[in-house]
């Protein structure tokens, strides 16, 4: 893969520590990670290693104690809360292990909602939502509510919602962890196809080594640093 000059996401010298009583826990100790458009990076790390902390910092949900987070080449640590919220809304998509869909809304409405919050007209938001859901094989399920969808379908709706605003970066934390192996494989294939088609930069945390092997690169967290497994 030929890389552009500027990564979509660049974590530079990230430090994060927590104080518990008289003890200071150093979770990240100058961690670096660059992810380019169209690239999928697997983050394979045990619980307690700092995996969730790294994702939260990458997604501007948590501020680092040191270092810088660049999104699209722009530094973010100096932004106020409103600026960080705006950047998250426009440039960063999140997919979690649990889909967190709004139960009273249809699949189409769940995907359109982030675009309406952004300020898009309803017709445009619903048109794009239908397009993304159709790409993910849910064109016949647009009007179904989450309770009427299977687990795999619900997670595909969550993926569509995450990319509805055409973000630069997609962060996924065990996105297929609650699915059976066959459904997990299908949902992951759909996720990869969507990342490739939209040129997102994706970081996917997973314990599934088979899925990790299908991504472009595999990294882990060791002694507070991001290190390659390839």
* Tally of domains in the chain: 1
The answer to whether residue 17 is domain-embedded is no
Supply the DSSP symbol for 48: T
The encoded tokens of residue 228 equal: 């390659």
The answer to whether residue 29 is domain-embedded is no
The answer to whether residue 62 is domain-embedded is no
* Distance, CA of 21 to CA of 19 (rounded, Å): 6
Sign of CA dihedral 43, 49, 53, 58: negative
The answer to whether residue 12 is domain-embedded is no
Question: Could you give the residue ranges of the DSSP H alpha helices within the chain?
Answer: 51-58, 81-91, 107-118, 122-135, 151-163, 181-198, 209-212
The answer to whether residue 148 is domain-embedded is yes
Here the CATH number for the domain that contains residue 214 is: 3.40.50.300
The answer to whether residue 203 is domain-embedded is yes
The answer to whether residue 138 is domain-embedded is yes
Range of the domain at 125: 40-51+85-228
Locus of tokens 């390659």: 228
* Distance, CA of 165 to CA of 89 (rounded, Å): 8
In the prediction, which pLDDT does 109 show? 94
Q: DSSP per residue over 89-147, as a string? A: HHHEEEE-SS----TTS-HHHHHHHHHHHHT--HHHHHHHHHHHHHHTT-TT-TT--GG
The answer to whether residue 67 is domain-embedded is no
* Distance, CA of 89 to CA of 59 (rounded, Å): 10
Contact 36, 8 (CB under 8 A): yes
How confident is the prediction along the chain (230 residues), in pLDDT tens digits per residue? 555 578 999 999 999 998 888 888 889 999 999 999 999 999 998 777 888 899 999 999 999 999 999 999 999 989 999 999 888 888 999 887 777 889 999 999 999 998 888 888 999 999 999 999 998 888 999 999 999 998 889 988 998 998 888 889 999 988 877 778 888 888 888 888 888 888 899 999 988 888 899 899 999 999 999 999 87
């Amino acid at each position: 893969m030929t890389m552009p000059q500027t990564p979509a996401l660049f974590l530079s010298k990230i430090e994060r520590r927590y104080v518990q009583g008289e003890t200071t826990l150093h979770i990240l100790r100058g961690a670096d990670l660059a992810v380019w458009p169209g690239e999928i990076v697997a983050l394979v790390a045990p619980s307690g290693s700092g995996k969730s902390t790294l994702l939260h910092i990458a997604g501007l949900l948590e501020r680092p104690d040191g270092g810088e987070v660049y999104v699209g080449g722009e530094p973010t640590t100096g932004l106020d809360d409103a600026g960080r919220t705006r950047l998250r809304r426009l440039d960063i998509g999140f997919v979690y292990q649990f889909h967190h869909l709004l139960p009273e809304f249809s699949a189409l409405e769940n995907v359109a909602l982030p675009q309406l919050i952004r300020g898009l007209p309803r017709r445009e938001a619903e048109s794009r939502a239908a397009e993304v859901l159709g790409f993910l094989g849910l064109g016949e399920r647009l009007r179904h509510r989450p309770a009427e969808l299977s687990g795999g379908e619900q997670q595909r709706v969550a993926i569509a919602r995450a990319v509805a605003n055409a973000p630069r970066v997609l962060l996924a934390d065990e996105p297929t962890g609650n699915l059976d192996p066959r459904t997990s494989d299908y949902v992951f294939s759909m996720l990869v196809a969507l990342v490739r088609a939209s040129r997102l930069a994706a970081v996917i945390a997973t314990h599934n080594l088979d899925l990790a092997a299908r991504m472009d690169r595999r990294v882990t967290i060791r002694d507070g640093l991001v290190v390659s497994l390839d």
